[in-house]
Amino acid sequence: MPAPNASRWQTLDTPFGAPLELRAGPYGLEAAFFLLDRRARRADRPNALTRKAARQLREYCAGRRKEFSLPLAPMAPDSPISGYRRAVWTELGRIPYGQTRTYAEVATRAGGSARSVGTANGRNPLCIITPCHRVVRKDGLGGYGGPLAPSRSMRMLKIKRSLLEHERRYA
């Protein structure tokens, strides 16, 4: 039997080209990331929080949810996440559903540079929930998914496009 504070996880199929794995620990939702390799999918070990997150994400996928109401471990007061990353991720949460902001616009609000916003975005462990997909370059889409191998980064850009189109459709 796992320890009461052990991480739990649940996988959720999405219409965006890959399933999401949700991971929860004692301080909240720790991660939501796309599984690009379906072979990496493991048997679910859910808890109440992963089930709640999965329900809210299914509502998002159906176009019925625009904001999430979940405890997020990286945003907990005693989280080891840097104050700057937390400021960037807070600004991501302020970007309205169906809209985008440039890296420079987020940097102005968070107090950094466009490059540092890109770095913080690339380290965001809670895709969709902390909507880093809404941040774009001033002259195009920008990146998505952090520093991945080229074949995976192209798949992630397709997912980013799909997320933005989804939100525009339901905005």
127 is catalytic: no
Contacts for 78 with CB less than 8 Å, ≥ 6 apart: 27
Candidates 132, 135, 159, 163; catalytic one: 132
Q: State the DSSP string of the chain.
A: ---TTS-EEEEE--TTSS-EEEEEETTEEEEEEE-SSGGG----B--HHHHHHHHHHHHHHTT--SS----BGGGSTT--S-HHHHHHHHHHHHSPTT--EEHHHHHHHHTS-HHHHHHHHHT-SBTTTS-GGGEEBTTB----SSS--HHHHHHHHHHHHHHHHHHHHH-
Q: Cα separation of 154 and 159, whole Å?
A: 9
The set of catalytic residues is 132
